[in-house]
Structure 1
Amino acid sequence: MAQDRPTAAELLAAVADFLREEATPALDRAEPRLGFQMRVAANSLAILEREARLGGAADAREHARLRTLLQRDGALEDLNRELARQLRTGERDERDMELMAHLEATIADKIAIANPKWR
């Protein structure tokens, strides 16, 4: 990954800001349907910017929690698959406080990327 500026996250944020602050208001006046579509595009870019900025650390935290919870190593996707299997078979359920703490932390990280205003 390039270490120069602007970073990918900065570029995504700049484009999203332009679309939200300049292009969308102009389109709202001229063509409201396109203004709505522009807001969707700007919001999508904002999600990508937050994922570029926050996603790696969130994945690392989730991976570490899963290794502890499952007491095994593996790729994040494989560990999630194993956790899903355990949930489906009833090996784990909502009475497992370590599981619930993991799920709450994972959801909080995902919401911080998808819609930080939600909380």
Structure 2
Amino acid sequence: MAQDRPTAAELLAAIADFLRDEATPALDRTEPRLGFQMRVAVNSLAILEREVRLGPAADAREHERLVGLLGREAPLAELNRELARQLRTGERDEADAALMAHLEATIADKIAIANPKWR
């Protein structure tokens, strides 16, 4: 199904565009409270669209960095649990340059999905 058009990201973007460009202005004129709630919904759809489009590559990059950092292969969630354990026990801290590079890259990917205008 991955080759089918429109893609999930395209559908989410089209829905968000319609709601933002047509529905929200109409609601703002007649029901301002609902207009605000529509903007929240549109922003949520935009986050979902970016998650669908950018998330798999971001997860792959995070996984690759964690494999290098921890020196073993495992699912992403398991590697993150291990890193969290190491941070809790003090095995790793902010003096670890590789750790800090990983965290900065992971945060940058998450911000690109959640709020790309932040930077």
Structure 1 and Structure 2 fold alike (TM over 0.5): yes
Alignment pair present for 1:95 and 2:77? no
**How many pairs align?**
119
Shift of 1:3: 1.5
**Which residue does 1:28 correspond to in 2?**
28
In 2: Cα distance, 1:16 partner to 1:41 partner:
8
TM-score (norm 1): 0.98
Amino acid at match of 2:86: Q
Q: What CA deviation, in whole Å up to 9, does each residue of 1:13-43 have, x standing for no partner? A: 0000111111001101101100010001100
Alignment pair present for 1:18 and 2:21? no
**Which residue does 2:111 correspond to in 1?**
111
Percent identity for Structure 1 against Structure 2: 85
Give me the CA root mean square deviation.
0.6
In 2: Cα distance, 1:6 partner to 1:13 partner:
10
Alignment pair present for 1:70 and 2:87? no
Amino acid at match of 2:60: A
Unaligned runs of 5+ in 2: none
